[in-house]
Amino acid sequence: MQRLGQMMRHLRLVRRMGKEAGVDLVAAYRAGALSQAEWAEMVQGCRACAWAADCPGWLDSHPEIGAAPPECRNRARLAALKNRFPSGEKA
């Protein structure tokens, strides 16, 4: 069984992936489109993701990606929020 990564590291990864994929997760949360439990699920999914160690380097080499990569466990949720809560800010 894989060990879960550090909570704050993965919170930052989820937020960064959201920003780079064009999603404002904070706006989605404030609007009620992303509950605290759903946000926690995203972070927990990232913590358990075998690809998370490669994520920061991938993000560094793929600016303005427009969508999370297929390896990202949060890809579907980010895509669902993107049109409603676009991010104008980059990580």
Report yes or no on 91 lying in a domain: no
* Joined tokens for residue 32: 């009620």
Tell me which residue range forms the domain holding 44.
7-82
Note the pLDDT of residue 2. Answer: 57
Find tokens 């990580």 and name the residue.
Answer: 91
Are 91 and 20 spatial neighbours (Cβ–Cβ below 8 Å)? yes
Note the pLDDT of residue 87. Answer: 84
Computed over every residue of the chain, the mean pLDDT equals 89
Q: How many domains does the structure of the chain reveal?
A: 1
Q: Is 71 left (phi over 0), alpha (psi -120 to 50) or beta?
A: alpha
Report yes or no on 1 lying in a domain: no
* Joined tokens for residue 6: 């550090």
Each residue's pLDDT expressed in tens, for the chain with a length of 91 residues: 456 668 899 999 999 999 999 999 999 999 999 999 999 999 999 999 989 899 999 999 987 788 999 999 999 999 999 989 998 654 4
